[in-house]
Amino acid sequence: MIEKIKLKFKRINQEYNDIPLPEYQTDGSSGMDIRAALNEDLIINPMKIGIIPTNLQVEIPEGFELQVRPRSGLAAKNGIGILNSPGTIDSDYRGEIKIILINFGEKPFRVKRGDRIAQLILSRYYKAEIELVEELNNSKRSSGGFGHTGV
């Protein structure tokens, strides 16, 4: 059984009531699709970014975050990604959720009102206690960095 955590969303402007709230597309989906709240189409040219409003604010329980991730269909078909992927919406943020899309494709990409533009993943997080020490325990990998395992 999957634990369910309540997320409270608020619409900023009622003129976007026709746009569905974020929603899971299937029972097995870990991400819920979030949609563009636009009055006019927005074109994102190749290698340019667009900041897309959603007309939504969210109340996230303390100890959780919402991660903003790209939609695989937009990436595979159009080269559209999330610039700061995964983006983080912190539990104390109450401003409008906006999605930073980037067009890695070769053609201009049109974002229309109500388009599914990203997915939101609810994730638990932990706060770290920071401790400065003189030595760290060694590991098998030790300080082996990029490409250390042969790839």
10-124 has CATH 3.40.50.720 classification? no
The whole-number average pLDDT for the span 91-112 is 97
Whether 148 shows a pLDDT value over 70: the answer reads no
Per-residue pLDDT tens over the stretch 81-93: 999 999 999 999 9
Put simply, whether the predicted model's pTM sits higher than 0.75 gets the answer yes
Q: Which residues contact 73 (CB under 8 A, 6 or more apart)?
A: none
The Cα-based distances of 18 to 13, 35, 51 in angstroms read 11, 11, 21
Contact 120, 34 (CB under 8 A): yes
For residue 109 the two structure tokens come to 């990409």
Domain boundaries, the chain: 10-124
